[in-house]
Structure 1
Amino acid sequence: TFYASPSPDADAYVKPGSKVSKDSIVCIVEAMKLFNEIEAEVEGEIVEVLAKNGQLVEYGQPLFLVKP
């Protein structure tokens, strides 16, 4: 499950226009009751968030579009 923020009442980690580096936390993915902070794999600017908050996501599924 994709979560855009650390808690329901918190701001999203990133949104379109946000700058990220390779160690920036961009979201949380829950798998088997474990919450995993996901780091950006590249440096750049978030163009689009492809997953909706609370959406079930699959391994390898793109979550963001990033412009280098």
Structure 2
Amino acid sequence: MAEHAVHSPLPGIFYRKPSPDAEPYAEPGSRVTADQTIGLVEVMKQFAEVKAGVDGTLVSFAVETEQVLSPGQQIATIEVD
């Protein structure tokens, strides 16, 4: 099956959850849709949603929560349907 790499749209800090006490947007092994949010990138208190981009199964995250990202850095891998 084909794999799709999800990349950071901008530099910032990556978060897998909408808030510290919330559940993660998605876990490895879960089904995702193209328009589903899988994380957030924060830059100067502004948050940008990171969408899956394809329908499939989230294989893994390439970064940890609260990791600093560079623009274009890979965030996750999705196995495409």
Same fold (TM over 0.5): yes
Q: Structure 1 segments of 4 or more deviating over 4 A?
A: none
Q: Distance in 1 between matches of 2:22 and 2:61?
A: 17
Percent identity of the aligned residues?
38
Kindly state the Cα deviation for residue 67 of structure 1 after the two structures are TM-superposed. Answer: 0.6
Q: Where does structure 2 lack aligned partners over 5 or more consecutive residues?
A: 1-12
Q: Which residue of 1 aligns with 2:49?
A: 37
| Structure number with bigger Rg | 2
The total of aligned residue pairs comes to 68
TM-score by length of 2: 0.79
Q: Distance in 1 between matches of 2:35 and 2:77?
A: 16
Q: Distance in 2 between matches of 1:21 and 1:58?
A: 25
Kindly state the Cα deviation for residue 55 of structure 1 after the two structures are TM-superposed. Answer: 0.4
Q: Where does structure 1 lack aligned partners over 5 or more consecutive residues?
A: none
Kindly state the Cα deviation for residue 24 of structure 1 after the two structures are TM-superposed. Answer: 0.3
